[in-house]
Amino acid sequence: MNQRLRIVKTILWGLVGVLGVVTIARFINGLGPTTGLSDAAPWGFWIAFDVMAGVALAAGGFVLVATVYIFGLERYRPFVRPAILTAFLGYAAVATGLLYDLGLPWNIWHPMIFPQHHSVLFEVAMCVMLYLTVLALEFAPVVLEHGWFGHPLFRTVLGLVKRFTIVLVIAGIVLSTLHQSSLGSLFLIAPFRLHALWYSPVIYVLFFISAIGLGLMTVAMESLISGWLLGHKIRTDLLSGLGKAASFVLGLYCIVRLGDLAVRGVLGSAFNGSWHATLFLFEICICALVPAILLSMRRVRTSITGLTICSSMTIIGMILNRFSVCILAFDRPLAMSYFPTWIELAVSLGIVAGAALIFLFFVENLKVYSEEDESDAHSVGTSSGFNPGAFHDLMPESVAGPRRYSLVLVAAASMAVFLLPDAAVLGEQSVSTPVLGVRTVEGVKVKDSNGGGVEFMLASAQTKGKSIPLMMIDGNRDGRLVFFPHENHVKELGNDNSCQQCHHQNMPFDKNTSCFQCHSDMYEASDIFSHDSHIKHMEGNEGCVKCHDDPTQVKSRQTAKACQQCHSDMIAADTFRARPAKALVGMATGYMNAMHGLCIDCHERKIKEKPGEYSANFARCDTCHGDPANADLHGAGPYSLQLVKSAKP
Amino acid sequence: MNTVAILTDITKCTGCESCVSACRVENQLGPDKAQRQSHAIDDLSSTRHTTILRRPGDHFVRQQCRHCTEPACVSACLVGAMQKTPEGPVVYDKKKCMGCRYCMVACPYGIPRYDWDKAIPYVHKCTMCYQRINDDKMPACTIACPEKATIFGTRDEMLKIARQRLKDSPNKYVQKIYGETEVGGTNVLYISDIPLDFLGCKPDMGDTAMPELTWAALSKVPPVILGMGGLMSGIYWIIGRRMKMQELEAAVVTSGSEEKE
């Protein structure tokens, strides 16, 4: 084995190790903690790269098969087996990638039993599934030729597959035509979201032509890589033929794409200098225009450098095209940005690395390449002299390889564990939203502009009347606040003896604890029970039974006595507060829940008690929230800016 | 066929969010959570199927699923988890769903929401309280509304009421029933004194139903199968025959030259 191959394999094993770790995180904790996806960007890197680009990159299989079997161009036969193997592994990688992206991957077989033939995605799913089977059968002879499969049954299968090759070939071409184009049709449903430079009524034609061009260039790239890596002879004569064909196809792609823009009358917007226009020009130049021109020159397409540059450009350009359609030019009306997390990249890279390792396994153990191609193999990189630092010189070759790869696998996996974000390990964490106390401001009482009731607003030069203290209740300081006239409530509820009706009295020597001291998170319940302080005041271990009174039960918070059984004075008889359920012992509910529970409960009670004095609206949200006269102070909500932005024509 | 519909009159809404609370109770959505993704957008989330958008100048616009007459999400779903019921509401069957989220990509109003924080996630959206409509009851939000700003009835009735209101106070309203014809018509209608263009992905979305766009491509599948299959078989046959002829010719030529010698 040569040095280059060893290094490449080491890297691939490392990527697979990382994949193993992130796979566990992804399936235990779901998509939210591990990806950058959101309601505004439901499709991200995995769909764009693993599925859209993956399928297009694997188009080499059907293009080469058609060239050799249908058009009878026998000289390209050496490319067929590697191309079919790449396509097969490519589609297997697409399916694997999809399992990560699907929210409910165990239902992936549902399209078979719940078909919905109006869905483009249904057609894609069925075609990909069938084509994966066709590719497996097309590749089967390579595996079955091996000595392991000497059993007569395998011989019969081999005979059958060989006999019906042409049927498989035609089925494969039809299926590929359908789903390569349909991946484009998927986006026909989103005319308002996909930018006009990409959204075309004939997007499926563009996807199909680009897949053929890309397929040809991927086969060329693959041949160049196997030449570099495995030392196979690079057949420049054949590759130049592929290059010539690709130059025609990519040229056709440019004509159709630009022609389509011209017909739809949006060609002008490709040159208006906007971000989308720049992206479009860059994309079409590197994916088709420049490679088509370069490859039309004989000098370029017969040189290894020329071919390498052209195929890299096409591959990168076409991947970029799929990214544009899926992410970059796909408008998110909710104005949220999407950026993939490293976990998403690690999954995609890991799957590709795994597929590459399987490819190398097949190449090493089966006859994927023809004899004459392999004649030059094993000559690269092995001629280097003695290297005292090299790992493989210290132990026999057969042991060095596996050991090195296992070591890298484990090292990469453990590195990945350390790099995982908290959420990916522990699951989606609730965002803590600390609550701040109320602020008291000068306010005035005014008559409600809509008639009926009173309203409170900030005192200013314009306001008239006596100023009173107003509490601004805005626990998380998001600007959506409630003016609370504390004094009025005190007066209404019975002056000095009314505190306990709303306030707890559980802080030592306290009559009216501020709400935010215990309800310290806006949304989440917080723990307010101090076990240590109870131990201290109840003579250490002897005090356990005072609360954990049932010896048959495990001593836990749920099985202990309720707080008010001892602290009877904590809850007054005339309180409005809801009595805590047993399950919530020692926990203070979120600030928002506490406020809503207390205020709405009491307001509802007041309507019932004095229906004449209080209107039916008294317990509704806008009694406290939303003060039209001071709308700017209340803020327009967290969404206002973004919605105004997207509302622009 | 006469389907049911919700008509929301923006001029009557006071933004009290009673509909939001009623929805929360009826659909057992649980408490509103501070989620990483949800509050940054328009406040719809997997635990909030309807919400009130505040617009400048004390306008309150209720955001919810439009229940399109020809829904994009239903045509997009490859397993039929999204279904348009004969009564009008678009409902979701979580047992069929495989989590591809194509419905979220397809919706022209960007309505469906996802359980991003769960390991077993589902799609969430308003179902017009389909379980209640089946029992001849009204959706929870329309009952809860104290101002009768959002009302429920057959689509024809709602259109009639809407037209009547537009006619009665022509200066108050924008002379348009939002949802009457947009994207093929919807079962949630709005009348308003401010333009509601901001609710969709683009201000003017036209009257074409979304499913027609993909069906134009999808209906070409059978011809493509026959055409491509026929073409490939034909080319294979012709080229195979030509090669055979060439071989025969070559054989004749060589045998002829041998004879001469």
Could you report the per-residue pLDDT of A344-386, keeping only the tens digit for each?
Answer: 999 999 999 999 999 999 988 888 887 665 555 544 444 445 5
Q: Does A191 touch chain B (CB under 8 A)?
A: yes
Residue B259: DSSP 8-state? H
> Minimal Cα–Cα distance from B176 to chain A, Å?
18
User: Residues for chain B: how many in total?
Assistant: 261
Q: In this complex, do B221 and A178 lie within 8 Å of one another by their Cβ atoms?
A: yes
Kindly provide the b/e burial profile for residues B92-125, where b requires at least 16 CB atoms within 10 angstroms of the residue's own CB.
Answer: beeebbbbbbbbbbbbbbbbbbbbbbbbebbbbb
Radius of gyration in angstroms for the set of CA atoms belonging to chain A, rounded to a whole number: 35
Q: What pLDDT, on the 0 to 100 scale, is given for residue A273?
A: 87
Q: Could you identify the residue written with the tokens 């990519």? A: A250
For residue A620, give the nearest of B18, B118, B218 by CB distance: B18
Q: Is A343 on the interface with B (CB under 8 A)?
A: no
Chain A residues in contact with B100 (beta carbon < 8 A): 101-103, 121
Per CB-CB distance under 8 Å, the chain B contacts of A71 are 235, 239
Across the interface, do B41 and A336 touch by the CB < 8 Å criterion?
yes
Mapping DSSP to helix (H, G, I), strand (E, B) and coil, where does residue A394 land? coil
Q: What is the C-alpha separation between B35 and A337, in angstroms, rounded?
A: 16
B76 touches chain A (CB under 8 A): yes
- Whether A451 and chain B come into contact, CB under 8 Å, resolves to no
Q: What is the model's pLDDT at position A579?
A: 62
The tokens of A19 are what? 């994949």
**Interface membership of A114 toward B (CB under 8 Å):** yes
State residue A515's pLDDT score: 84
Question: B68 in helix, strand or coil?
Answer: strand
Q: Residue A574, exposed/middle/buried by CB under 10 A (0-12, 13-18, 19+)?
A: exposed
CB A173 within 8 A of CB B181: no
Amino acid letter, residue A121:
L
pTM: 0.82
| Separation of alpha carbons B36 and A32, rounded Å | 9
The Cα A43–Cα B100 span in angstroms is 9
Give the Å distances, CA to CA, from A395 to A24, A287, A398, A408.
34, 46, 8, 17
Alpha helical stretches, state H, A30-119 = 31-34, 45, 54-57, 60-65, 77-101, 110-113
Distance from C-alpha of A289 to C-alpha of A12, rounded to nearest angstrom: 33
Q: Do A39 and B41 touch (CB under 8 A)?
A: yes
Chain B, window 118-177: residues with a beta carbon less than 8 angstroms from a chain A beta carbon:
118-122, 146
pLDDT value at residue A398: 59
Size of interface A-B (CB pairs under 8 A): 258
In the structure encoding, which two tokens stand for residue A647, read together?
């509302």
| Min distance B131 CA to chain A CA atoms (Å) | 23
Token pair, residue A340, equals: 């993939």
Specify whether the CB–CB gap between B89 and B127 falls below 8 A: yes
Cβ-Cβ contacts under 8 Å, B182 against chain A: none
Report the Cα A504 to chain-centroid distance in Å. Answer: 45
Asked if A107's CB is within 8 angstroms of B38's CB, the reply is: no
The secondary element (H helix, E strand) that includes residue A490 is helix A486-493
- Which chain A residues have a beta carbon less than 8 Å from that of B117? 30, 32-33, 427-428
Q: Vertex A516, ends A512 and A518: CA angle to 5°?
A: 80
Report the C-alpha gap between A326 and A329 in whole angstroms.
Answer: 7
Whose structure tokens read 């259109």?
B159
Report the C-alpha gap between A52 and A355 in whole angstroms: 17
* Burial of A425 per CB tally in 10 Å (0-12, 13-18, 19+): middle
Q: Is the pLDDT of residue B125 over 90?
A: yes
- Window 513-572 of A, Cβ < 8 Å to B: 522-524
| pLDDT for A136 | 92
> Rounded to 5 degrees, what angle do the CA atoms A153, A158, A159 make?
95
Cβ–Cβ below 8 Å for B58 and A628: yes
B97–A104 C-beta distance less than 8 A: yes
Shortest CA distance to A230 belongs to which of A377, A351, A52, A126? A377
Model confidence band, residue B75 (pLDDT cutoffs 50, 70, 90): very high
Structure confidence at residue A251 (pLDDT): 96
Backbone angles phi, psi at A142, to 5 degrees: -60, -40
A118 and B120 within 8 Å at the Cβ level: the answer is no
For residue B8, give how far its alpha carbon lies from the nearest alpha carbon of chain A (Å): 18
Walk along chain A (649 residues) in steps of 10 and give the mean pLDDT of each run. 81 94 92 86 92 94 92 88 93 95 94 92 94 92 82 86 89 94 93 91 94 94 89 86 94 95 91 91 94 92 92 95 92 70 95 94 83 54 49 56 83 88 74 80 69 66 76 76 84 79 72 80 82 82 82 82 73 68 68 85 86 79 61 35 30
Please list every residue in chain A whose beta carbon sits closer than 8 Å to the beta carbon of residue B25: none
Task: Give the phi and the psi of residue B110 in degrees, each rounded to 5.
Answer: 60, 50
For residue A592, give the 3-state DSSP assignment.
Answer: helix
CB burial of A143-153 (b: ≥16 within 10 Å; e: otherwise) equals bbeeeeeeeee
Identify the closest residue of chain A to B78 by CA–CA distance.
A122
Q: Are A571 and A579 in contact (CB under 8 A)?
A: yes
Chain A residue numbers touching B72 (CB-CB < 8 A): 189
Residues of chain A contacting residue B240, judged by C-beta atoms under 8 Å apart? 72
Mutation pick from B45, B101, B192 vs chain A, by most beta carbons of A within 10 Å, is B101
CB-based contact B101 A177, cutoff 8 Å: no
Pick from A123, A204, A639: which is nearest to B41 by CB? A639
State the DSSP string of A519-553: --BSSS-EE---HHHHHHHTTGGGGHHHHS--TTS
Q: Using CA atoms, how far apart are residues B230 and B224, in angstroms rounded to an integer?
A: 10
Is B178:B165 a contact under the CB 8 Å cutoff? no
Q: Is A75 on the interface with B (CB under 8 A)?
A: no
**Tokens for A70?**
């249908």
Output the pLDDT for position A639.
31
**Cβ distance of A38 and B37 shorter than 8 Å:** yes
The answer to whether B14 contacts A193, with C-beta atoms less than 8 Å apart, is no
Interface residue of B41, B196, B221 to substitute, partner A, most A CBs within 10 Å: B41
Please name the residue of chain B whose CA is at the shortest distance from the CA of residue A593.
Answer: B31
List b or e across B29-51, with b for residues whose CB sees 16 or more CB atoms inside 10 angstroms. Answer: beebbbbbbbbbbbbbbbbbbbb
CB contact under 8 A, A39 and B240: no
CB contact under 8 A, B33 and A29: no
Q: How far is CA A402 from CA A365, A395, A406, A414, A572, in A?
A: 16, 12, 6, 18, 74
B153: three-class secondary structure by DSSP: strand
Any B CB within 8 A of A630 CB:
no
Within 8 A of B22 by CB-CB distance, chain A residues are none
Q: Do A430 and B243 touch (CB under 8 A)?
A: no
Tokens of A234: 């690079």
How close does chain A come to B258, measured CA to CA in Å?
A: 28
List, in sequence order, every residue forming a beta bridge with B4; answer none if it has no partner.
B154
Nearest C-alpha of chain B: how many angstroms from A421?
14
- Taking the CA of residue B208 and the nearest CA in chain A, the distance in Å comes to 11
Residue of A nearest to B197 (CA): A647
**DSSP string computed for A401-462:** HHHHHHHHHHHHHHHHHHHS-HHHHH-PPPPP-B----EEEEEEEEE-TTSSSEEEEE--TT
What is the Cα–Cα distance from A288 to A217, expressed in whole angstroms?
11
Q: What average pLDDT score do residues B126-134 get? A: 89
Helix then strand count (H, E) for chain A reads 29, 6
DSSP-derived pairing of the beta strands B188-191 and B4-9: parallel
What's the pLDDT score for residue B90? 95
